[in-house]
Homo-oligomer: A and B are copies of this chain.
Amino acid sequence: MLGLMASPKPYRAPVLADVARAADVSVPTVSRVLNGSKYVAPDLAQRVNEAVQALGYRPNGAARSMRSGRRTLVSVLAGATANYGYARTLQGVETAARRAGMSVSITVVESGEDEHVRAAIDLTLAQPTAGVIVLEFDRAGINAAKALPEGLPVVVAGGGSRRTGQVPAALIDERAAGRQATEYLLHLGHRTVHHIAGPTEGKHSGRTDGWRAALTAAGAPAPQIMRADWDASAGYRWGERIAGMSDVTAVFCANDDIALGLMRALSDRGIDVPRDISVIGFDDQPLVALWRPSLTTVDQDFEDLGARAFGLLSQVIGGEPDAASSVKAPQLVVRESTAPPKG
């Protein structure tokens, strides 16, 4: 009859009442001990701690957060996770959150379409979240930030040079960086600088703005913007076309992947970087320093961005009235892919 026996213990996780019984104290006392309240006798506290150990008790997070109203989960909404910038920013958020005793959840917004935005938000808010950090690197993130309900603590992390709307933001000043990169190329003696931009993100991108500003300030002609997706293959395809253009001597790419794809295409066609054409990327992924030629690029401190975003969210959650946006300027890293023009 063994096979028909009901399982003897369906294993129920121990709860506060079990601990209280084992320690022969009341339920609130156990709670007090666990939450480090003073006003509890040492011997009782010890009995409780022993019972907790013995039973392997873990507080039920749902019950805890429901009753106390305290939330220990922060949610990240992002258009992607595995791309370098996203992943590093997420890492920065996670590290900061962990040090503060909070957990991080991540939800991907598949696209900027209403449907995807709404689905992601619904999923995120189904958890008892203390607040939301939106990675505003793409349209999905931008739309998600707009669609979040009022009254919920929200901060944005992104590449603008100033705050977007009313939401506090941790920012990287892409505009300044784009300008600096372009100015560097002009300073080397290039007549103008071509630009491969990322997919259009609403009105403008800071990188593109900075590029244009530098050209205007220097009185240099602004060539037509070349649009590309974020990945290397898009850079490669533009490289094929640029190889046939005689007037291009310097290219500022919206990210490292595009730059590497471009360089490979040029290399495949016998065009030398940086002798024939200079190339600058954006992000400073670890591998680009190994490239031949190593890539001149803009170092964005994504981890710091994530940490700042979390800090800001903490302030907002804490109700601090002057939760101020922060902006940090990325840094140009000069390597081998840039040089004065041939002439």
A-side residues, CB < 8 A to B, are 11, 13, 56, 58-66, 72-73, 75, 80-82, 84, 87-88, 90-91, 94-95, 98, 101, 103-108, 120, 123-129, 149-151, 231-232, 236, 257, 260-261, 263-264, 267, 285-287, 290-292
Let me know if A123 and B103 touch, CB within 8 A. Answer: yes
A81-B90 contact given A101-B123, A106-B104, A107-B103, CB 8 Å threshold: yes
Let me know if A56 and B149 touch, CB within 8 A. Answer: yes
Q: Give the nearest-CB partner of A264 in chain B.
A: B290
A260-B287 contact given A56-B149, A82-B87, A106-B104, CB 8 Å threshold: yes
What are 14 sample pairs from A and B whose C-beta atoms fall under 8 A apart? A56-B150, A61-B125, A62-B62, A64-B126, A82-B87, A82-B88, A95-B108, A98-B120, A101-B123, A103-B107, A105-B106, A106-B106, A257-B287, A292-B292
Let me know if A108 and B103 touch, CB within 8 A. Answer: no
Let me know if B101 and A151 touch, CB within 8 A. Answer: no
Q: Give the nearest-CB partner of A69 in chain B.
A: B62
Q: Give the nearest-CB partner of A265 in chain B.
A: B290
The one of B11, B105, B264 in contact with A151, judged by C-beta atoms closer than 8 angstroms, is B11
Contact residues in B for A63 (Cβ distance below 8 Å): 62, 66
Complex Cα distance, B87 from A257, in Å, reads 17
Contact residues in B for A94 (Cβ distance below 8 Å): 81, 106-108
Complex Cα distance, B108 from A101, in Å, reads 12
Let me know if B264 and A286 touch, CB within 8 A. Answer: no
Complex Cα distance, B209 from A62, in Å, reads 44
Q: Give the nearest-CB partner of A256 in chain B.
A: B287
Let me know if A81 and B73 touch, CB within 8 A. Answer: no
Let me know if B286 and A232 touch, CB within 8 A. Answer: yes
Let me know if B81 and A91 touch, CB within 8 A. Answer: yes
Let me know if B128 and A231 touch, CB within 8 A. Answer: no
Contact residues in B for A91 (Cβ distance below 8 Å): 80-82, 108
Closest 9 CB pairs of A and B: A62-B128, A62-B66, A82-B87, A87-B87, A105-B105, A264-B290, A61-B128, A82-B91, A62-B65
Contact residues in B for A290 (Cβ distance below 8 Å): 232, 236, 260-261, 263-264
Complex Cα distance, B63 from A62, in Å, reads 7
Complex Cα distance, B90 from A257, in Å, reads 21
A58-B231 contact given A90-B81, A105-B105, A257-B286, CB 8 Å threshold: no
Let me know if B103 and A104 touch, CB within 8 A. Answer: no
Q: Give the nearest-CB partner of A56 in chain B.
A: B149
Complex Cα distance, B216 from A323, in Å, reads 64
Let me know if A149 and B87 touch, CB within 8 A. Answer: no
Let me know if A232 and B58 touch, CB within 8 A. Answer: no
Q: Which of A129, A267, A286 has the largest number of chain B CB atoms within 10 A?
A: A286
